[in-house]
A and B are shown apart, each in its own frame.
Chain A
Amino acid sequence: MTQPAVTATGLRKSYGNREAVAGVDLEVRTGELLAFLGPNGAGKTTTVEILEGYRSRSAGEVSVLGVDPARATRAWRARIGIVLQSSRPNAFLTVRETVAEWADFYPAPRPVDETIARVGLTEDATQRVGKLSGGQQRRLDVALALVGDPELLFLDEPTTGFDPSARRQAWGLIAALRELGKTVLLTTHYMDEAQELADRVAIIRAGRIVAEGAPGELGRRDARSVIRFRLPAGVAAADLPIPMSVRDGVALAAFERPLEPLHAVTAWALEHGHDLGELEVERPTLEDVYLELTESQDAGAEAIE
């Protein structure tokens, strides 16, 4: 088995007595796309910037492509590509000039025009960077990260502030990076982005990883399906065959295995001639799982294994 591209064990970073990263264990396998999710202020960017070699750490072990980023060398920097959350290249150079300038930095760059084509900027190659739209600037950012032909790419919130169609396009671009065999660590606060793109997801909250796994598995874990329907007229909660709570005339209850309670309820309804208006069985979406993990105070602690 090949070595993971990134491993972090017990990673900590304190600012004064505030612990921004409070013991993160993270692994990015070679060739995979790991989505690193969390709300703003959860420690995402701090963690990633330690991995990129921008920040020092307070404690823990880190290896990125077999090297401790705190002792980054030129050779190591040539093997990684970084797209920062927001950075603007020189507005007065053209797209092609900018990519050519960056190609200079690397020992074995990709061809400039091919790189520009790969991010879909061929028609804008002679355009000044300052005249590009936000989405085009982001594509250029990706081109600059890609032109050195790195093994590992860090993409920090690449679609924040995008409209839906620009996000779709960006997703296509990121998915295409996988076809080049790149390992990608994608930071995002959109669950749907992780679901669309990632092989695995790691969710960070308050400086700790609270969940990790394939997007599908994450949704399945703690998956409690909710049965709900409008309570028929003249029926009280106590009359129902299963324990349910009633809110605004709607009966609802959550079950890990909803089949039996559902059967009990429908059998009871048929027997008594009730029409169960608005009957629904709802599986939690990844979004629900994510919100639950990152927003409630206790849910995070429960999810730690």
Chain B
Amino acid sequence: MSVARLALRQAAFHGRASLRNPPVVFFGLLLPVLFLVIFATVFGNETLESRGGIKTSTYYVPGLIALGIVSTTFVNLAIGLTIERENRQLKRIRGTPLPIPAFIAGRVATALALATALTIVLLAVGRVGYGVSLPGSTIPGVALSLLVGTGAFCCLGFAFATAIPNEDAAPPLVNAVVLPLYFISGLFFPTDGAPAWLTTLADVFPIKHLAEALFEAFDPATTGAGVAWADLGIVAAWGAAGFAVAVATFRWTPKGE
């Protein structure tokens, strides 16, 4: 079986398992939709002067798509890989002829499928529930952000798993990283008027840039395809760093073995 076909079959099995995994379904897939419904319902009709007077719901949809991408890639992989490493699933897989590229591609393909499905659901909820429309001309911007974001945050997920000591520590450590970043990156409420040190701090990390890249596509002021090259470049650079760390430190056996 070719590596590509093996990867797809892996993604099918792993995707099926993910959809039966309650924490993955709730935190990874349902919660971002719930966030959109809550925030857009409560704050959606306010106007956002810092973003040219758009409705707040238009601001929330791209931000929560970014959150959805991070949760279906980085969060799921960092936690999932740690659990699989500690209960020796990875070790067993390493003892089979499954090529490593097929294993990795399978996990990335699962993440991409979940992230894409969640993005489509969030777009639909935004459109049907809150009248947030995406200009057809900027679909390339959303698609590219989805691809770059998925790739980069998958790399970061593989890298971060290597820093997690055991399976019990995985969810709290991952949340300790992403939750503060969600807040300072303006996913839950706009941070345009926040103190400079806070926005500068958020600018260092990739989540805000992914959200901004997606916002570019939703911003009525945008002309053209809605691709925010600078933001996506920073996301990709983080992904490349994550890739390098993952290659150097990824382990197939439990820590301490």
Tell me the complex Cα distance, A89–B98, Å. 15
Pick the contact of B16: A84, A87, A89, A97 (CB < 8 A). Answer: A97
Q: If A77-B95, A92-B20, A92-B21 touch, does A54 touch B87 (CB 8 Å cutoff)?
A: no
Interface size grouping (class) on chain B: 20 to 34
Pick the contact of B88: A74, A80, A87 (CB < 8 A). Answer: A87
In the complex, what's the smallest C-beta–C-beta distance from B109 to chain A, in angstroms? 14
Q: CB-CB contacts of B87-126 with A at 8 A, as 1s and 0s?
A: 1110110111111000000000000000000000000000
> For the complex, is A252 an interface residue (Cβ under 8 Å from B)?
no
User: In residues 39-92 of chain A, which contact B (Cβ within 8 Å)?
Assistant: 52-54, 74-75, 77-78, 80, 82, 84, 86-90, 92
Pick the contact of B6: A54, A86, A104 (CB < 8 A). Answer: A104
> For the complex, is A93 an interface residue (Cβ under 8 Å from B)?
yes
Q: CB-CB contacts of A142-160 with B at 8 A, as 1s and 0s?
A: 0010001000000000000
In the complex, what's the smallest C-beta–C-beta distance from A184 to chain B, in angstroms? 16
A90→B17 contact, CB < 8 A: yes
Tell me the complex Cα distance, A77–B98, Å. 9
B13→A101 contact, CB < 8 A: yes
Tell me the complex Cα distance, A148–B91, Å. 17
Chain A contact residues: helix, strand, loop or mixed: loop
Q: CB-CB contacts of A87-112 with B at 8 A, as 1s and 0s?
A: 11110110001001110111100000
Tell me the complex Cα distance, A82–B97, Å. 12
> For the complex, is B191 an interface residue (Cβ under 8 Å from A)?
no
> For the complex, is B10 an interface residue (Cβ under 8 Å from A)?
yes
Query: Which B residues lie within 8 Å of A106 (CB)?
Result: 96-97
User: In residues 18-38 of chain B, which contact A (Cβ within 8 Å)?
Assistant: 18, 20-21
Tell me the complex Cα distance, A105–B16, Å. 18
User: In residues 42-75 of chain B, which contact A (Cβ within 8 Å)?
Assistant: none
Query: Which B residues lie within 8 Å of A77 (CB)?
Result: 95-97
A84→B98 contact, CB < 8 A: no
Tell me the complex Cα distance, A44–B256, Å. 17
Tell me the complex Cα distance, A88–B87, Å. 6
B95→A53 contact, CB < 8 A: yes
In the complex, what's the smallest C-beta–C-beta distance from B233 to chain A, in angstroms? 36
CB nearest neighbor in A for B252: A54
CB nearest neighbor in B for A76: B97
Tell me the complex Cα distance, A82–B94, Å. 10
> For the complex, is B1 an interface residue (Cβ under 8 Å from A)?
yes
Query: Which A residues lie within 8 Å of B87 (CB)?
Result: 86-88
CB nearest neighbor in B for A52: B95
Tell me the complex Cα distance, A144–B89, Å. 12
> For the complex, is B166 an interface residue (Cβ under 8 Å from A)?
no
B17→A104 contact, CB < 8 A: no
> For the complex, is B199 an interface residue (Cβ under 8 Å from A)?
no
Tell me the complex Cα distance, A101–B7, Å. 11
Pick the contact of A97: B13, B91, B98 (CB < 8 A). Answer: B13
B94→A54 contact, CB < 8 A: yes
Pick the contact of A105: B17, B84, B97 (CB < 8 A). Answer: B97
Pick the contact of B97: A75, A87, A89, A100 (CB < 8 A). Answer: A75
CB nearest neighbor in A for B96: A105
Q: CB-CB contacts of B150-178 with A at 8 A, as 1s and 0s?
A: 00000000000000000000000000000
A88→B88 contact, CB < 8 A: yes
Pick the contact of A89: B1, B89, B95, B96 (CB < 8 A). Answer: B89
In the complex, what's the smallest C-beta–C-beta distance from B13 to chain A, in angstroms? 5
Query: Which B residues lie within 8 Å of A107 (CB)?
Result: 97
In the complex, what's the smallest C-beta–C-beta distance from A7 to chain B, in angstroms? 20
CB nearest neighbor in A for B80: A90
Tell me the complex Cα distance, A54–B94, Å. 8
Closest 4 CB pairs of A and B: A87-B88, A92-B20, A92-B17, A74-B97
Can you pick out 30 interface pairs between chain A and chain B where the beta carbons lie within 8 Å of each other?
A53-B95, A54-B95, A74-B97, A74-B99, A75-B97, A77-B95, A78-B96, A82-B95, A84-B88, A84-B91, A87-B88, A87-B89, A87-B92, A88-B87, A88-B88, A88-B89, A90-B17, A90-B89, A92-B16, A92-B20, A93-B13, A93-B17, A101-B9, A102-B96, A104-B1, A104-B6, A104-B10, A105-B6, A106-B96, A128-B20
Taking Cβ atoms with an 8 Å cutoff, the residues of B that contact A are 1, 6, 9-10, 13-14, 16-18, 20-21, 84, 87-89, 91-92, 94-99, 253
Taking Cβ atoms with an 8 Å cutoff, the residues of A that contact B are 52-54, 74-75, 77-78, 80, 82, 84, 86-90, 92-93, 97, 100-102, 104-107, 128, 144, 148
